[in-house]
Amino acid sequence: MVTYIPASKGHKDARGFDPVWEMYHKVFDLKPLLLKIDADKPQAQKNRDERLKTPQTFSCITDEVYPSQTRVLIVDDIYTTGRTILHAKTALKAIGLNDIYTFSLSR
């Protein structure tokens, strides 16, 4: 199963689109699993220390139950500190998805 790092509602509304979904939706059959709440400010406006201290901003938006052996690939645009991916993985693990891989277009 392939999911992605979604934009928060505020970020999506400001841009008019979800950048990560737009990058990958023609390549993968993306399954929306994560919901991202608006943070105090976008990651791009934070320095490394601020990024590492960012609290959990993800929850899962599905009530489906997945077999424990389900493999999940999380796609994202940019990997800087890894905090976003770690928070996404934590949210997915909370619903029983543990075999998780990641791919970012840029680092």
At residue 43, the pLDDT reads 67
Three-class SS of 83-98: HHHHHHHHHHHHCCCC
What is the C-alpha separation between 97 and 39, in angstroms, rounded? 25
Higher pLDDT, 51 or 6: 6
Average pLDDT of the segment spanning 38-55: 72
pTM (predicted TM-score): 0.86
For 37-67, b/e burial (b = at least 16 CB within 10 A) is eeeeeebeebeeeebeebeebbebeeeeebe
What is the C-alpha separation between 47 and 45, in angstroms, rounded? 7
Nearest to 70 by CA among 90, 36, 88, 93: 93
Percentage of the residues of the chain whose pLDDT score is greater than 70: 94
pLDDT for residue 51 is more than 90: no
pLDDT per residue as tens digits for the range 86-97: 999 999 999 999
What is the C-alpha separation between 80 and 39, in angstroms, rounded? 17
pLDDT per residue as tens digits for the range 10-28: 889 988 999 999 999 999 9
